Structure formats: structure tokens, C-alpha cells
Amino acid sequence: MKGGGYLAPDHVRDVERHIFDAELVDDSPRESRLRRWWNRFANWWRRSPRVPSPLRSRQAARRAFMDAVAFALRSPGRLLTSVGRGAVAAARCWRRWVRVHDYRDAAEQSEKLADKFIEIRQLTLFRWKVTGVVALAGAAAVTAAYAALGTSVLWFTAGTCAVVLAVFGRRKDGEPGRKPVLAGPRTLEWTMDSQVLVDAFRDAKLIGKDETLRLVERATHDGAGWAVTVDLPATRKAADAIKHREALASALAVDELQLVVERVRGRGGHAGRVFLWVADEDPYSGPPLRFPLLDAERWDAWRPIPFGRDARKRPVDLQLVWTSLIIGAIPRQGKTCAARIPAAGLILDPHTRLYVFDGKGGKDWRAAEAVAHRYVCGDEQEHAEAVRDNLVELVATVQSRYARMSELDDEVCPESKITPEISRDPELDMPITAVIIDEVQVYLENTTRQDVDGTKTTLGAYIADLLTYLARKGPAAGIVVILVTQRPDSTTIPSRLRAVLGSRFALRVVDWRDSNIVLGEQMNTRGFDASTLLPGHKGVGILRPDGDTDAGAETLAVTTRTYYMDNAEWRSICERGRALREAAGTLTGHAAGDDSRQAIDRASVAKALGSGVSPGADVPTELPEPLASVVDYLGEDLTTREFVPTAELTGALDLDPTGFGRDMGELGCRPTRYRVADADGEVRRVRGYFTADLRAAIDRISADEISSADDHEADEA
């Protein structure tokens, strides 16, 4: 009863049962203490230097057992090889001794060989006699022992001789006392001798002759290659090993594509710890990699999209939300296929909206017409103007989204950024929107003159300004920009646009300048150069992600082989994406048969582009030499650096300083002296060019081109 304090027998039994259950809890602290002590002991066992490394874990024990078995199986062959090498070395040593080479060489150096001839002859005969006496005495001793003790003496003598010869011949050719007659091919012998790795680092000038490496994790067979982690000597940096990967690959006698060099970062790494992985064979050969999303019914655009695999066959995913992507390569290297991979992930999310513009005019993107909100295919003037109008519409959409997000509650929009909930709310109408432009150079190189809010410019420059705005301010509003080009040069992709594209993927290009334009300045000096990729490696490129990958959160760039899907599989994904949108009621725009656009205030769009549209192109279509090469070399540094020494430009471009100065002077760029600090911190006066003068020359040439175009149109009129 609740009020009188009386408990019925059934209630008493319930209380007793609950008390009995509660008593079992008293053992849990004891168990937790035992578990805690056990974890401490296990942690000490794994980390203590007093515990032999093969006993620290099951994996280490298994590895030690495999090594012991391999050593036992290889020992007979290695013993025979060492005995043979020792016999040859001993015969050479005896021959030099019996022929008195040491005495003869000394006499030749002192130019007294004729005077010492008789002495050398007598000493030679004496050593022959000693050899004969020792041989007869040894044979007599063995014979007497054999007669007295039996065949065991022969076995003992043979074993002793074998051990002595094996020890004597344990050193390889090239060390003191070993001079090879003809060197054979260099091979990577990871399981045979770790000295090969040390010699490779020395040959690559990564460590000094008196320095060595410290083994952190011994060489093990990891997947389809060998992996090892080493510590460089003090003051040596892992970044230098990555930068000189090609030299290290040459020293290891492998192709540089088979060698992966990474800095070990985080808790278990430091600036001098290097991880090496060497593939047994070409890691990028073999049949194409099947795209994993071909079997997926749908996908979430907020999740990283499977993009490809690295040399170690680890998956490489690409995060698209919050960033933009540029893909550059020469023709027929897999650009379009690489762009369709992230596009497929967006298509399989029914809550995304796509703007697809194909400057090639083929059928590569024709299937995407069934899901695209806006679709343009072609390279004619009308197509370029349609791209411009659609981008203007999208810029206005970004402005509208920011205005609406500023009025949302903090619970709905806490950071003035789009969220998964906002992007899927049909009432807010702010889905993830992707702008995919294949062969973007077709539209960026359009020189048709435009008058935008009172400013004269070109259609290509205006499109570049619109894309720059979308790539700079669009990600927070849910805008993803994907650009594909076969002309990755500074005149095609303006620096102001490249600077705001977060993720970059470069397939094979012509030279390191084009590679740097896609991946970023000085990436080739950091060990990443897309011009070194092989022509036969279709779909293989260097990915510089704007985010984490399975290859490591601190990975600067990774060579990736993209997944592959043929046209039939691509059409299947687009059909599946249309069905998902029809079911979710999110099929809009061109795919739904509605090509109408909302009214747009173009003046407000031009104002939103920042300081107004750029007068003319960022760089004219054709710059005269050597200014064009200077612009290619500087890239983004043209706007970030203040001064560039002449010696740096002539050295990087391999030009004659006298002719370079004369040609630059004709273009209106006069050199001047300026104080700069060298690598040692010492300030010196050097001759060079201010980047402001270079930009002024570019603007002057651009203005001249526009003026010439005006005069030409006036003459035609």
C-alpha cells in the first residue's frame, strides 16, 4: 500500500529480488580494475624496449615466424653462394700474394723495378715453395687423421673450410678487396639487405656519406609492394625525400610511378620520418576499375564520392560540398570520364540540381540532359550566351540564398552556411547545385565584346568573373563548380579563377608549367608533376584534394587512377537519377521541360561580382614572348608577389639575360634594382621586375586588343 508502509509478501519478494540483483554490481569495479591493469600491462608489453619485438603482437610474431622460415629455406642457397664467392676471393688473394704484387707495385712506384727484379724473383720462388709445403703438410695431416678417426675428419675439414670461405666471401662486390669485372643490372633486394635502402638515400643525395637511416618499421610486403618506415638523420627533412622522389626511384632501380614517398605525420610521425612503398609492378596497369556507385540505388551528395584508387589500391574519395574542382589534361587522357565520376554521385542524389554545359558539343553529356536543371551543348555564339545567362541566373540565386539564410533561426542555420536539412527542405528551395562545364576554355576564350554595367569587357572574361564569384562565394550557399579543360594554361584559365578552385585533378599534360597551373604553383618542386605520367595510363592523374582522403588527412596530393564507366553505364545512372527525382518531385528546369528563367536584376549581379567585371580578359588571348612565358611561370604569384629577380626568371625559363632584358623593355617592362633577402637572410640589391609593372603591361596589351577590335568593327560598319 502506498500510504500505510505495509508491503505485501509479493512486494517483499520483489524488493529482495531487486536487492539481490543490485549486489551483483559490486563486482564490476573489481572487473574494471582488472581490465584497467590488464590494459596497462598490454600497453607496456607492446611499447617496452625490453620486450623483444617479435613478441609484442601476434602480427609481429607471425612476421618473425615467416622471416625465420624464409631464412631457413634460403640458407642453403646463400651458403653455397657465399662459399663460391669466398673461394674466388681466396684464390685471388693467394694469386696476388704468390706473385708478390705488393712488393712489385712498390718497386714500380719507386721506379726501381729493374734493380729489384732478382729479389722479386727469389721471393716469388720462396712463396711457391711455402705454398707447396703447406699444401703437402695439410694433405698429410688430413690423411693421417682420416686413417686414425675415419670419415668424420673429412666432414669436419670440409665444414670448417666451407665456414671459413663463407665468412671470407660474405662481403659483396664493390667493398674493399672486391672489384667486379662487369657490373650486372641493379635490382631491388628489400628482403636481402637493408643496406640497399641506405645506399639509395646516399646516391640520391638525401643523406651524407657518413650518415645512415634509423629503421622504424622493417620492410614488409604490404599488398602488391614493399613498405618500410625510416627516420632520416637530424636536420634532414621528409619533404626533401618527397621532392627528390625521382632521384630516389633511380637509386632504387624502379620506375618513379612504382615508388610512393610520404611523410609520416600526426602523433606517430615528425618532420624527418618517411614512409616508403615500392610496388612489385606497375600499380596503374591492368583492367579498368569499376565504378562502385553502379550498384548503388542512390547516393548522398554530402558524403564523399568514390573517385578512384591510389597506387596501394586504397580508395580515394572526393568531397564536393564546400569546394570546387578543376580537371585539366591534354586530349584523350580521360578528362570527361573523370568529371562524370563526381557528377554521377550528384545525379544519384534526388535533392541536387545540375547545370551541365558541354563546350565540346558531342554526346558525352547527352544523357545528363534527362536530369539537368539547365543544359547547354555546343560551342557556337548562342551557346556561349546561354551559358552566360544561366551563370547570371545562378549568381542571382546565390545572392537570394544568402539573403534568406540571414533571416533563418540559428537552430536551422547556425553558421550562415547551408546544411543537409536546409538543402533537402523543398520550402526553402536551396538544394546542392552543381555547375559542370566540359571544355570550359571554349567559353572563356570567346572574344565577343560585352557592355556590363557600363564596363567594356569580353564575353569570355565576363563568364570567368561569374565563375570566379560562384567558386568564391558559392560553396557556403551549396554551389559546386566543376570545370574541365584540355588547355590548362594561364591565358585560358585566369589566375583569379584558378585561385579559388579548391580541389584540383591533373591528368597527363605537356610540361611542368601546365601541371602547376592545374595543381598550384611550385607543385612540381614538391614532387608532383603531371607531365611525368605515362601516355598509356589513361585516367591516371594527380589529385590535390580540398579535404581529407583515405590516403591521409595530411596528404598534399596523391596519384590516383579514376574509376571507369562506359556510355551505357553512364546512361543507366542518369536514367536512375531521373527516376529518383520524379519519385521525390524534384525534377525541375530543362529536364522537366521548363526552360523559362526568372527575372534578374543584372545590375545587382554585376555589383555582386566585387570590384566590377574585369576590363578585358585577365590575360589577353595571345601575349607576346617573353611576357607570356613569364606569366606562365609566375601564375598566381603575379598577384601575390611584389618583386621577381631577373636571375630567377632567366634561370627558370632558360633564357639569355641580355636578350630577355631587351625584349621585356620593348614591351614596356623596365628592370629596376630592389632589396631582397636571400636564403641566409642577408639583404642584397638585385635587378628584377615589380609584378605591378608586369600587370600594367598585360592590361595595356589587353586595352590595345579591345581598341583594335573596336576599330575593326567600326571599319566594317
| 649 in any annotated domain | yes
pLDDT of residue 179: 41
Q: Quick: pLDDT tens for 382-428.
A: 999 999 999 999 999 999 999 899 888 888 888 888 999 999 999 99
Residue 262: give its domain's CATH number.
3.30.980
Are the CB atoms for 541 and 530 separated by under 8 Å?
A: yes
In DSSP terms, 306 is beta-bridged to 317
Indicate if 426 and 538 belong to the same structural domain: yes
Are the CB atoms for 520 and 504 separated by under 8 Å?
A: yes
The mean per-residue pLDDT over the stretch 50-56 comes to 70
Indicate if 369 and 254 belong to the same structural domain: no
Examine the fold and report which residue of 168, 187, 222 is the final residue of a domain before the chain moves on. Answer: 168
| 501 in any annotated domain | yes
Does the pLDDT at position 255 exceed 60? yes
pLDDT grade for 84, boundaries at 50, 70 and 90: confident
pLDDT grade for 25, boundaries at 50, 70 and 90: very low
Q: Quick: pLDDT tens for 131-180.
A: 888 888 888 888 888 888 888 878 888 888 888 887 777 655 444 444 43
Which residues lie below 8 Å from residue 341, measured CB to CB, with a gap of 6+?
291, 305, 306, 307, 308, 318, 562, 563, 565
| 182 in any annotated domain | no
pLDDT of residue 703: 61
Does the pLDDT at position 11 exceed 70? no
Indicate if 432 and 318 belong to the same structural domain: yes
- N residues, the chain: 717
Residue 661: give its domain's CATH number.
1.10.10
Between 317 and 222, name the one with better pLDDT: 317
Strands 503-506 and 540-544: antiparallel
pLDDT of residue 500: 86
The 3-state DSSP class for residue 599 equals coil
Does the pLDDT at position 672 exceed 60? yes
Residue whose grid cell is 617496452: 48
**Structural domain count of the chain:** 5
Examine the fold and report which residue of 238, 257, 279 is the final residue of a domain before the chain moves on. Answer: 279
| 619 in any annotated domain | no
Which grid cell is 83?
A: 662459399
CA distance 469 to 169: 71
Q: Quick: pLDDT tens for 90-120.
A: 888 888 887 777 666 666 666 665 566 677 7
- How far, in whole angstroms, is CA 500 from its chain's centroid? 20
Are the CB atoms for 569 and 291 separated by under 8 Å?
A: yes
Domain carrying residue 31:
18-47
CA distance 288 to 537: 10
Q: Quick: pLDDT tens for 469-505.
A: 999 999 999 999 999 998 777 667 877 788 888 899 9
Between 306 and 640, name the one with better pLDDT: 306
Indicate if 415 and 486 belong to the same structural domain: yes
Tell me the range of 38-47, 370-379, 454-463 where mean pLDDT is highest.
370-379
Does the pLDDT at position 436 exceed 90? yes
Indicate if 271 and 322 belong to the same structural domain: no
Between 546 and 635, name the one with better pLDDT: 546
* Residue 358 CA: distances (Å) to CA of 71, 381, 396, 435, 443: 60, 13, 22, 11, 10
H or E element that contains 607: helix 602-608
Indicate if 113 and 206 belong to the same structural domain: no
Task: Return the axis-axis angle of helices 646-653 and 657-666, rounded to nearest 10°.
Answer: 110
| 55 in any annotated domain | no
pLDDT of residue 463: 92
Q: Find the angle CA(435)-CA(438)-CA(443) to the nearest 5 degrees.
A: 90
pLDDT grade for 541, boundaries at 50, 70 and 90: very high
| 616 in any annotated domain | no
pLDDT of residue 17: 47
Residue type, 40: R
CA distance 179 to 146: 38
Examine the fold and report which residue of 577, 608, 639 is the final residue of a domain before the chain moves on. Answer: 608
Bond from prior residue into 475 cis (ω within 30 degrees of 0): no
Find, among 660, 615, 334, 621, the residue nearest to 490 by Cα.
621
Q: Find the angle CA(161)-CA(165)-CA(171) to the nearest 5 degrees.
A: 165
Indicate if 68 and 125 belong to the same structural domain: yes
Indicate if 515 and 655 belong to the same structural domain: no
Indicate if 78 and 32 belong to the same structural domain: no
Find, among 271, 270, 249, the residue nearest to 260 by Cα.
249
Which residues lie below 8 Å from residue 448, measured CB to CB, with a gap of 6+?
381, 384, 458, 459
For 687, phi then psi, to 5°, come to -90, 140
pLDDT grade for 49, boundaries at 50, 70 and 90: low
Indicate if 267 and 411 belong to the same structural domain: no
pLDDT grade for 673, boundaries at 50, 70 and 90: confident
Indicate if 543 and 438 belong to the same structural domain: yes
| 512 in any annotated domain | yes
| 181 in any annotated domain | no
Min mean pLDDT across 65-74, 199-208, 600-609 is at 600-609
* In 259-417, alpha helices (H): 335-347, 381-405
Q: Quick: pLDDT tens for 652-663.
A: 877 778 888 888
Indicate if 361 and 422 belong to the same structural domain: yes
